[in-house]
Structure 1
Amino acid sequence: MEGKTVVFNSEIDGYNEVVLGNLLHGSWRSLPRFCQSILRNYVGFTILYFVCSALWSLYAYRLNPNVSSPEVSKTRKNFIVKHIWQTMKAMPGYILLEGVSEYMVEQGWTRCYSAIEDVGWPMYFVYFIVYLVIVELGIYWVHRASHEVKLLYRLSHAQHHVYNSKHKVSPFAALAVDPLDGMLHTLPFILATLLVPTHFLTHLLVLFCEGVWSINIHSTIDSAEIWPLMGPSYHLVHHCRPNYNYGNYTIFMDWLFGTLRRPESAGAKNEKNM
């Protein structure tokens, strides 16, 4: 156990140096490793949020042939400012939880492993698929509970659903959530590391890819839907009709549990809210 802890400590130090050493100068190296990891994640997620959201917005609202009217563009810009403000308030909460997750890995409290050679490539893919299934199932039920448990909805998730039409949603809305809401939706990733052997670097990359994916599905781009992916059109249905399409990466859990609604079904609702 002690040997694994040393390996993970060294690995995390390397990631901190790559991000913070190239972006920040000063006394960050004197901080405890836990604080360094939180700072690394905060810097990394902030850069990811602004760069990816800006690129998706550029495509959706400038390069996309379906150009919005000036009135709609002004409305969306006003909401984007609100999206950014809410995201900046929420970011420290779930960044803290991810820091706790890394601390758990360091202490050997999870089933994470450092090198793929520890399990071999075939089992790496098997474990990774199981990890993703746990994440998908966990996020589905956390998301559904955040709607169906009325107190939880009022205290937390309602903040994200003030954006309830196509022109109130944007890529910048992806992380515009209540801090508690963001932390609850991060828990399935941590739970997965407790239940199944998980390659640590893959786990970190999935967390960052989750941010990119969330930005994508909030882009409101009318794109071809590829089964079983939860694309922007499916997720827009959820913002317009919140009792459907709770899934994260896929629509499979919604199909399995009877909460799937195809984008065409929300057409009239979308037009009403525009």
Structure 2
Amino acid sequence: MDIVLEYCDYYLLDKVYAYALPKGGYVDTLIHQSPLFNTIAQFDLGKAIKTVPIIDHITSTNNTLVSNAINFNATSINSANLPSYLLNKVINYQNKADIYGLKPNLLPAGDFFSSSFLPRSSLFRESLSLLVITTLFGWLLYFSVAYLSYVYVFDHKIFNHPRYLKNQMSMEIYRATTAIPVMVALTNPFFLLELNGYSRLYMDVNDCNGGWKAVLFQIPKFILFTDCLIYLIHRWLHWPGVYKRLHKPHHKWIVCTPFASHAFHPVDGWAQSLPYHIYPFLFPLHKVLYLGLFTFVNFWTVMIHDGNYMSNDPVVNGTACHTVHHLYFNYNYGQFTTLWDRIGRSYRRPDDSFFVKENKAEDTKRMWRKQVDQMEEIRNELEGKVDDRVYIDQ
């Protein structure tokens, strides 16, 4: 995310912050004159942390917090020195060279680099910038990809399905548009940790990092890791109590349009995105590849909701598999593959009738009626007999 933020800062945001919140301006003066600011400014974090009881073995003679090296072993950790131990672990995990905003990296400083009293490295500025950038990017990606899919890929016969809702597409768009900013806000802490050097993201491709072979190997690793965790999270979201509170809004759409792809309860959408953000904290991942994979995930999410059944592949959890999930609820929880559904015995093979392109109208209606009968039996068990959806055939 530092790549995106640096380009945005250089070409736009440095200037915006310089004009809106300049050094020596009204807001800057007001903050510096506040008693709270003066109290914080006088607080010596390095001195304060040393007041926490720790063990006697300190190998560093430097008085700064960052350079304190505390020697712990299995028997020396207790309730008194635990805060110092955890803080030391956090400090040692941080890659100081990857802290964003202290100096230019990919681009020169520019005329407005230091013109605002909020520097690029300010957590408040980073949070605000990321909230705006990722929300706008999320909306742009959602509307552009879903629209192209709707025009060129989506099977418009779905509009006649007896379980298509009245005004469904507008409801999908409203749900997604309002959910994306909340999902972004919930994801911001992960981006902030990345910007401050706490992830294993890297930029230089060299022998120390495994070279290009390691970069290529990261793609299947990312897919398999996230597919496994999403499967587990998705199954958890189908527990009756969790389903009713979080996941049911996404299952409002029994048959989907591409605009259903991001139409979640925001906590649901955020929960299913967690594996994508956890991965770079556990495994090395190239920064550009991370941006590419993040974009691919959003493309894939739209694609599996487009209703166009191109392949009944036994491995890939494609559109047909995900349609089965929306129709029959308790099957095909995976995101990319059928592997975890097969292991968890929740795989359901899409019917061959999905892939008949030139069905007669009578055959299509017969197939849809069969789907409805099977779907209603499962829905009654999961949601109860009262259905609050309003369908087009009602």
Q: Which of the five TM-score ranges fits, normalised by the shorter chain?
A: 0.7 to 0.9
Higher helix share: 1
Question: Counterparts of 1:102-251 in structure 2 under 5 Å?
Answer: 102-117=191-206, 118-148=209-239, 150-164=240-254, 166=255, 169-251=256-338
RMSD over aligned Cα atoms? 3.0
Q: CA deviation at 1:13?
A: 3.1
SS of the residue 1:185 aligns to: helix
1:88 is the counterpart of 2:77? no
Distance, in Å, in 1 between the alignment partners of 2:314 and 2:285 is: 26
- Alpha-carbon shift at residue 113 of structure 1 (Å): 1.2
Q: Is the 8 A contact 1:93 1:182 kept in 2?
A: no
Contact 2:223 2:336 in 1 (8 A): no
Residues 88-97 or 43-52, more deviating: 88-97
Once the two structures are superposed, residues 82-123 of structure 1 have per-residue CA deviations (whole angstroms, 9 ceiling, x without a partner) of: 001111121112212333222111222221112333431112
Counterpart CA distance in 1 for 2:158 and 2:289 is 42
Q: CA deviation at 1:128?
A: 3.4
Displacement of 1:58 in angstroms is 1.1
Change (3 A) 1:49 1:69: closer
Amino acid at match of 1:259: S
C-alpha distance 132-72 of structure 1, shift in aligned 2 (>3 A)? closer
Residue 147 of structure 2 is aligned to residue 54 of structure 1: yes
Length, aligned pairs only: 255
**Pairing 1:10-29 to 2, within 5 Å after superposition:** 11-17=3-9, 21=12, 27=16
Number of the residue aligned with 2:93: none
Structure 1: which 5+ runs fail to align?
Answer: 1-7
Report the CA distance shift for 1:177/1:269 in structure 2 as closer, same or farther (over 3 A): farther
Deviation track 1:58-80 (CA, whole Å, cap 9, x = no partner) reads 1245xx5xx5387559x567100
Q: Residue deviations 1:10-49, cap 9 Å, x none?
A: x34334359x84xx99836767123212211111111111
- Distance change (3 Å), C-alpha of 1:72 and 1:262: closer
**Residue pairs, 1:246-261, within 5 angstroms:** 246-261=333-348
Q: 1:248 to 1:107 in 2, by over 3 A?
A: same
Matched, 1:43 2:136: yes
Secondary structure in 1 aligned to 2:229? helix
Q: In structure 2, do the counterparts of structure 1 residues 177 and 26 end up closer, same or farther at CA, with 3 Å as the change threshold?
A: farther
Residues 100/205 of structure 1: CA separation in 2 closer, same or farther (3 Å cut)? farther
**Match of 1:13, as an amino acid?**
L
- 1:217-261 Cα distance to aligned partner (Å, 9 max, x none): 001113223342211111000001111000101112112221110
Distance (Å, rounded) in 1 between the aligned partners of 2:188 and 2:17: 16
- Larger gyration radius, structure 1 or structure 2: 2
User: What is the TM-score normalised by the length of structure 2?
Assistant: 0.58
Segments of 5+ residues of structure 2 without an aligned counterpart are 22-117, 119-124, 355-366, 376-392
The answer on whether the counterparts of 2:312 and 2:350 sit within 8 Å (CA) in structure 1 is: no
